[in-house]
Structure 1
Amino acid sequence: MKRVLHRLRHNVEAQLLWPLGLATGTLWGFLALANGMTSGATRAADAWILQWCRSAGAHGGAWGPAWLPDVMRDITALGSPTVLILVGTAVWAYLLLARQTRMAWLSALSCLGGWATSTALKGVFMRERPEFSFHGTLAGGYSFPSGHAMMSAIVFLTLAMLIARLAPRTRLRLYAMGVATLLSGLVGMSRVYLGVHWASDVVAGWMAGVAWALLVWAIAHWLQIGQEDSR
């Protein structure tokens, strides 16, 4: 019995089943949301949420205390290309120093590929952003999916997954994943609060980013098993 369990534990197909299945489900959710967006099914909810974040409609101030918009602008910067490049480069260098060469290049390719995919998706859907009167920070380009939400999920979750593989304890792995999830969630919410994205843009960005990160995790797991088997 122990031998059977040992083989099952080291079976590549069995270990990759859950992340690939979850990634497939998340992608299905993204496609369903995209279909709802293009058909106009999300328009009423998007408009209500955006209005709720303002104290007096499009020309009113942002909801909450006077300091909250500044805090949200600081949070939204965590999903900016500059910050994500700095974080990605730092973790890439860490993985190289830890002699995790395959994982280092996988993380780099994941971030670059995710950025290319996000840009391509925006070009496919070409959704306009909310009216400029809603904007609480600078923003340009198309709206769907949210690049900040998608790329923060891709970068933070992918890097957390790769780092978690080096963590010796389960609670450290959970901590890394929890921090990554929290950061991505805050970045996405800040985009809606600041009026530069519809809520469906952000949810779609999260879905696409999570699916991408899960696929990268599956590849990383496959590479690690292949490396162990070659020893």
Structure 2
Amino acid sequence: MLNRLVRHTHFKKAYKFVTAEVRLLASIAIVSGLVLGFFSLADEVGEGDLDVFDNFILMLFRDPDNVDLLVGPVWAHEMVRDITALGSFSLLGLIVLGVSAYLLLLRLKSEATLIVMSVAGGTILSTVLKWTYSRPRPDLSVMSTQFTSSFPSGHAMLSAVTFLTLGTLLAKIAPNRKIRIFFLGTAIFLTAVVGLSRIYLGVHFPSDVLAGWCVGAAWALLCNIAATVLQRRGEVTASVGSLLAKNAHGRHI
């Protein structure tokens, strides 16, 4: 009986180890694929191979008789403008500060630091890429003057970096599976709608948004890999539930 229990325990540990390693390798493979996708898009944009595709998608949201007019009712236009603001630097910064403050209140200093460094690094990377490619914006924008170049979309990239980094890290410290799914699903949804709003408003070409998603998701996954390594070392808490249980135990002592 004891021998069977020992064998079962060793099997569970081995299974968890193998599963964790497979997930880590899969994450690295996905990051590689996303980076490759970004450079493929960059090459095709530079050669003009995506011009027809970009213009076709943009015109789906324009009145064919007057390309300066968006399709849909006026209230929809305002709603999309509100959605696109979710990917602005100022609003994302406030979200990061709010979540980081919450984590600090839970005494999760490493997690808060990781989020701030991840988003700050993604912001720097986005700026460097925009300077490097310097693609002009579409001539269809209904918004105010844009001050940065078009490729990749900063809103799409930074929303992916911020929301996916927050989603994956919060999922890691979530107390149960349902909350983990909620965090990840919300992060993916917000990333998607921000990028689509940029296309609808004509502020970016579709290839700009696709490229922003690729590099933003790759960066967020890299940060997730870093969080996984830190979690194994015990520098990132396994879950909020375990932290609260530990604190409760300390109070009882």
The TM-score normalised by the length of structure 2 is 0.85
1:23 aligns with 2:57: no
Distance 1:140 1:9, change over 3 A: same
1:155-170 aligned within 5 A = 155-170=162-177
CA contact (8 A) 1:27 1:208 kept: yes
Residue number in structure 2 paired with 1:151: 158
Distance 1:22 1:57, change over 3 A: farther
1:141 aligns with 2:132: no
1:209 aligns with 2:216: yes
CA deviation after TM superposition for structure 1 residue 5, in Å: 4.2
Residue number in structure 2 paired with 1:49: 57
Residue number in structure 2 paired with 1:123: 131
2:32 is paired with a residue whose SS is helix
Aligned length: 227
CA deviation after TM superposition for structure 1 residue 21, in Å: 1.2
CA deviation after TM superposition for structure 1 residue 60, in Å: 3.4
- 1:74-126 C-alpha deviation (Å, 9 max, x unpaired): 00000001110000011111111222211111110000000000000011111
CA distance in 2, matches of 1:91, 1:171: 20
Unaligned runs of 5+ in 2: 1-6, 237-253
CA contact (8 A) 2:59 2:67 kept: no
Q: Counterpart of 1:29 in structure 2: which amino acid?
A: G
* Deviates further, 191-200 or 163-172: 163-172
Q: Counterpart of 1:37 in structure 2: which amino acid?
A: V
Unaligned runs of 5+ in 1: none
Residue number in structure 2 paired with 1:78: 86
1:114 aligns with 2:114: no
Q: Counterpart of 1:44 in structure 2: which amino acid?
A: V
1:218 corresponds to which of 214, 225, 230: 225
CA distance in 1, matches of 2:87, 2:62: 22
Distance 1:135 1:223, change over 3 A: same
- 1:153-202 C-alpha deviation (Å, 9 max, x unpaired): 10011011111111111121111111111111111011111111000000
Residue number in structure 1 paired with 2:246: none
CA RMSD of aligned residues (A): 1.7
